[in-house]
Structure 1
Amino acid sequence: MNARSWWLLISVGLGILLNPLNSSMVSVAIPRLQDGFQLDFTAVSWIIFSFYMASAVAQPVVGKASDVFGRRNLFLAGLLVTFAASLFAPVSPSFGWLVVFRVVQSIGTSMMVAVGMALVRIHITERQGTALSVLSIFLSGAAAIGPFIGGVIMYWWDWHAIFVVNIPFVAASFLLAWRTIPEDEPPTAAAGSTSFRTWMTRLDAPGIVLFTAGLIALLVGLLSAKSSGHVSLLHVIVGLIGLLLLAVFVRHELRTASPFIPLRTFAQYRAMTRVNVEFMLVNVVFYSLFFGLPSYLQTVRHVSEFHTGLLMLSLGLCSLVVSPLAGRWIDRSGPRPALLLSAILMTAGSVWIATLHQTTPVIRVCVALAAFGIGNGLNNVGMQAALFKSSPKDIIGVASGLFQTSRYVGTILSSLLIGIVMGGTFSFEGFRIVGVILAVIALSLVFMSLRGKESGPLQQSSRHV
């Protein structure tokens, strides 16, 4: 890659890291927010759930918009939206307004993730595995150090600074992106057909509304049940409404001339669909460990919060170390061997969880974390590379957005899995049952990797997409 490509990568990386950074930083601010707004944990937890929901919905929508309107301006717009949310959130007059600005922040950061991946796919045509490993370092590093940064901020300042800390990243990314991201090609709409109605037709506004309403209703039903600790009739009704709206959405997409999500294309490119399913399952496995292991360490092993944080930090550090190595391997051999090794490591780690006992040596905990961390590093690069190999270039925006939605759906499902198995209280036996379930899921990923078709190194395939 030349110098301009590297600077483009850095500008995109500084933007996309804001999404995982802000999704993980706020977790340590929950007690302070409870005290500041005089709310219980269930109410305050929506500061986390709202971010996940908005990201899951916004990324494919923004991806579709980037395919129609171009990517440079949308990336810059995402930075401006994030900047505005970071300024207004600290002065929120109520918790409701804070959630609103949190949703705006999620939309802004999601714009950069969906569009940033597409920018790399289009403008960096050589050594894409290496390029993806660099982006993975930004994404994984931000997720890994987010709780640490949040903890430092909570120690020295207050929750308001969690939003203000975004501003230097936004400024640096904006200046670099303005100089390094090439101008968008002119829209392909015919002359004289650029009316508002024409653009809405090209975007498939009805499809976007159905998708957004259906996914939000489904997630609200699921997450409300999770946060309240029980399933009520209202939760079931809201979830079913979401499923009904998504079914209507599918029917609409199959009939419209310019679909928001080209389902027929996904059916034609089955590898692209398989990648999204695999990525969702990978995140179910990874985040079940990420959410469950700290409770095991503190509740069962009585490890302090500080040492638990250090142990969990090793998970992210292993991902960071492996990511550049994975990029070089994928450049040479394609993504499938790396994904197979990742699935094997996650299967081994899940079996380890299923065979835990109350006196398991801490060194074995570190080995399991290393296995999951290495597997996560391979997956972060390998899955994105597999998506690039399997996606047509003209829909890479919406494909990248749906890919990130798969991540958030997997994250939410992992939280629901732990909640269903554990009930209201964490238990050692329940965590072992989770390990058995994860082992089955991880083993299915092994078989999916073995059955997946591979077409050689990433650069070779990307030239023919």
Structure 2
Amino acid sequence: MDVRSRRLMISVGLGVLLNPLNSSMISVAIPRLQHVYRLDFTVVSWIIFSFYIASAIAQPVMGKASDLFGRKKIFLTGLVVAFVASFFAPLSPNFGWLIVFRIVQSIGTSMMVAVGMALVRIHITEKQATAISVLSIFLSGAAAIGPFIGGVLIHWWDWSAIFFVNIPFMVASFLLSWRTIPKDEPPTSVARNMSIRKWLNLIDASGILLFAAGLVALLVGLLSAKSSGHVSSGYVVVGLIGLVLLAAFVRHELRATSPFIPLRAFAKYPAMTWINVEFMLVNVLFYSLFFGLPSYLQTVRHVSEFHTGILMLSLGLCSLIVSPIAGRWIDKSGPRPALLVSAILMTFGSVWIVTLNQNSPVISVCLALAAFGISNGLNNVGLQAALFNNSPKEIIGVASGIFNTSRYLGTILSSLLIGIVMGDQFSAGGLRALGIILTVISLFLVFLSRRRREPNPNSPSANG
């Protein structure tokens, strides 16, 4: 890889790492935000919901936008948008404005993720596989060390530092990208002449609106009822409105010519559908621990943000170390053995959480974190391999998009689960209840893994 390619890799890498970094740093900041804004966990959890809902929508939309308007333009615009959001978020006069800037930050960082891989594929032609793997390290590494960085920043400064820390990365990425990313080709006549109405149809704006409004309304109804401790007619109505909007979304997607989420693919390829269900459940398990355990450690066990970040580092490091090993194992044996081991490890970690009490050594939490970290490394590689094995070649791009959507849905559901189980205040009893639910889910994943069948290489699905 020549000097120019290395500079391009660094400039793109510094941009794409911002999305996973900001999605993970916040896990250690939630108790501090609860204290600063005097809110319970169910309200503060919207700092998580908002980021992932916006990412789930923005990444596919910005991927389409880059094809029409240029990848360099989208990447640089994303850096500017994320810079503005990261600068003003700590200055928010109230929690509502913080959510607004968090959404803007998610959109900006998603713009870079949406086009980062494409920039590497197009402009780095030598040792392309190596370049893509390096970019994946930027993404997974940022997510892995995010809680540790967040813990250190909050310990030595304050929660605002997890936003300000983005600024040096953004400035460096912008200056490098401006010089190293080649200029975009002039837009085609189709892009130049595309009306706003055609553009909205292309990104399925109606579907996006129904999806976002329905999901938010359903979450508001469920979380508000839990937070208030009783079920009122108002919360029921909001939740029902959410369900109606999501039903309308499904109906719309089945009829749309360019659907936001191609639901027909689920019915046509059931093996691919089950992989996405499994991926969603895996993320429910992983992120329930990822977001729930830091709040438990700080509010129940009174562990500092700094030490919480160090403990959470065991989760990320195990995931990073295992991922390349998992790749070699899966190349030889297929995804089934790795995914079965992963499900067993998640079951062990979930059961271990159930056994924790007020007198358990804090260091023993690392056993559960290590089990989930190893399983995460196995799942990231194993389920991606299973997806490629069970998806026809002609729809592999669509399959990858659905796969990422499953990740975000799992993350959103994990936050919902924590909010419903914990309610206003984290407690040891709430953590045990969460552990029991996670154990049931992980046992179901063990069942799915045992029943998994490797595709016949001569089947139409395998060959496309």
Amino acid at match of 2:382: G
| Aligned counterpart, 1:25 | 25
> Secondary structure of 2:261's partner?
coil
Aligned length: 462
Offset at residue 365 of structure 1 (A) = 3.9
Offset at residue 411 of structure 1 (A) = 2.7
| Aligned counterpart, 1:371 | 371
- Give the Cα separation in 1 of the matches to 2:454 and 2:73: 35
What RMSD over aligned residues (CA atoms) do the two structures have, in Å? 4.3
TM-score (norm 1): 0.79
Q: Quick check: 2:28–2:309 contact (8 Å CA) kept in 1?
A: no
Offset at residue 361 of structure 1 (A) = 6.1
| Aligned counterpart, 2:57 | 57
> Secondary structure of 2:104's partner?
helix
Pairing of 1:291-370 with structure 2 (within 5 A): 291-294=291-294, 307-331=307-331, 334-356=334-356, 365-370=365-370
User: Which moved further from structure 2: 58-67 or 341-350?
Assistant: 58-67
Offset at residue 279 of structure 1 (A) = 1.6
- Give the Cα separation in 2 of the matches to 1:406 and 1:302: 34
| Aligned counterpart, 1:436 | 436
- Give the Cα separation in 2 of the matches to 1:376 and 1:344: 12
| Aligned counterpart, 1:163 | 163
1:99-146 C-alpha deviation (Å, 9 max, x unpaired): 322210011122333444566788889999877764554334323433
1:22-48 C-alpha deviation (Å, 9 max, x unpaired): 233345445665676676766555444
- Give the Cα separation in 2 of the matches to 1:118 and 1:267: 29
1:227-276 C-alpha deviation (Å, 9 max, x unpaired): 55554433332222122112112222222333232222343333443332
- Give the Cα separation in 1 of the matches to 2:16 and 2:250: 30
- Give the Cα separation in 1 of the matches to 2:189 and 2:328: 39
> Secondary structure of 2:409's partner?
helix
- Give the Cα separation in 1 of the matches to 2:22 and 2:4: 28
> Secondary structure of 1:238's partner?
helix
User: Which moved further from structure 2: 20-29 or 191-200?
Assistant: 191-200
- Give the Cα separation in 2 of the matches to 1:123 and 1:332: 31
| Aligned counterpart, 1:288 | 288
| Aligned counterpart, 1:447 | 447
- Give the Cα separation in 1 of the matches to 2:13 and 2:131: 10
| Aligned counterpart, 1:257 | 257
- Give the Cα separation in 1 of the matches to 2:170 and 2:192: 36
- Give the Cα separation in 1 of the matches to 2:336 and 2:4: 29
Q: Quick check: 1:114–1:404 contact (8 Å CA) kept in 2?
A: no
- Give the Cα separation in 2 of the matches to 1:115 and 1:192: 20
TM-score (norm 2): 0.80
| Aligned counterpart, 1:248 | 248
Amino acid at match of 2:261: I
| Aligned counterpart, 2:145 | 145
Q: Quick check: 1:25–1:146 contact (8 Å CA) kept in 2?
A: yes
User: Which moved further from structure 2: 312-321 or 73-82?
Assistant: 73-82
User: Which moved further from structure 2: 174-183 or 247-256?
Assistant: 174-183
Q: Quick check: 2:390–2:455 contact (8 Å CA) kept in 1?
A: no
| Aligned counterpart, 1:220 | 220
Structure 2 CA distance for partners of 1:126 and 1:399, relative to 1, 3 Å: farther
User: Which moved further from structure 2: 125-134 or 286-295?
Assistant: 125-134
Structure 2 CA distance for partners of 1:274 and 1:308, relative to 1, 3 Å: same
Offset at residue 281 of structure 1 (A) = 0.3
Q: Given the alignment of the two structures, is residue 274 of structure 1 paired with residue 274 of structure 2, yes or no?
A: yes
Q: Which has the higher contact order (CA 8 A, sep 6+)?
A: 1
Q: Which runs of 5+ in 1 are unaligned?
A: none
- Give the Cα separation in 1 of the matches to 2:238 and 2:244: 10
1:351-380 C-alpha deviation (Å, 9 max, x unpaired): 333455666566754333221111112223
- Give the Cα separation in 2 of the matches to 1:242 and 1:401: 24
Structure 2 CA distance for partners of 1:72 and 1:223, relative to 1, 3 Å: farther
Amino acid at match of 2:161: A
Q: Quick check: 1:117–1:400 contact (8 Å CA) kept in 2?
A: no
1:148-196 C-alpha deviation (Å, 9 max, x unpaired): 3333333444444332221222234345556666777887886996333
Q: Quick check: 2:54–2:107 contact (8 Å CA) kept in 1?
A: yes
> Secondary structure of 2:250's partner?
helix
Structure 2 CA distance for partners of 1:115 and 1:454, relative to 1, 3 Å: farther
Pairing of 1:399-414 with structure 2 (within 5 A): 399-414=399-414
Q: Quick check: 1:323–1:381 contact (8 Å CA) kept in 2?
A: yes
User: Which moved further from structure 2: 418-427 or 312-321?
Assistant: 418-427
User: Which moved further from structure 2: 25-34 or 365-374?
Assistant: 25-34
Amino acid at match of 2:215: L
- Give the Cα separation in 1 of the matches to 2:390 and 2:188: 24
Structure 2 CA distance for partners of 1:261 and 1:69, relative to 1, 3 Å: farther
Offset at residue 55 of structure 1 (A) = 2.5
User: Which moved further from structure 2: 188-197 or 382-391?
Assistant: 188-197
User: Which moved further from structure 2: 145-154 or 292-301?
Assistant: 292-301
> Secondary structure of 2:257's partner?
coil
- Give the Cα separation in 2 of the matches to 1:259 and 1:93: 38
User: Which moved further from structure 2: 122-131 or 59-68?
Assistant: 122-131
- Give the Cα separation in 2 of the matches to 1:450 and 1:186: 52
Amino acid at match of 2:208: I
Q: Quick check: 2:151–2:308 contact (8 Å CA) kept in 1?
A: no
Q: Quick check: 1:136–1:380 contact (8 Å CA) kept in 2?
A: no
Structure 2 CA distance for partners of 1:258 and 1:48, relative to 1, 3 Å: closer
Q: Which runs of 5+ in 2 are unaligned?
A: none
| Aligned counterpart, 1:100 | 100
| Aligned counterpart, 1:81 | 81
Structure 2 CA distance for partners of 1:386 and 1:131, relative to 1, 3 Å: farther
- Give the Cα separation in 1 of the matches to 2:255 and 2:261: 12
Structure 2 CA distance for partners of 1:293 and 1:167, relative to 1, 3 Å: closer
- Give the Cα separation in 1 of the matches to 2:175 and 2:276: 33
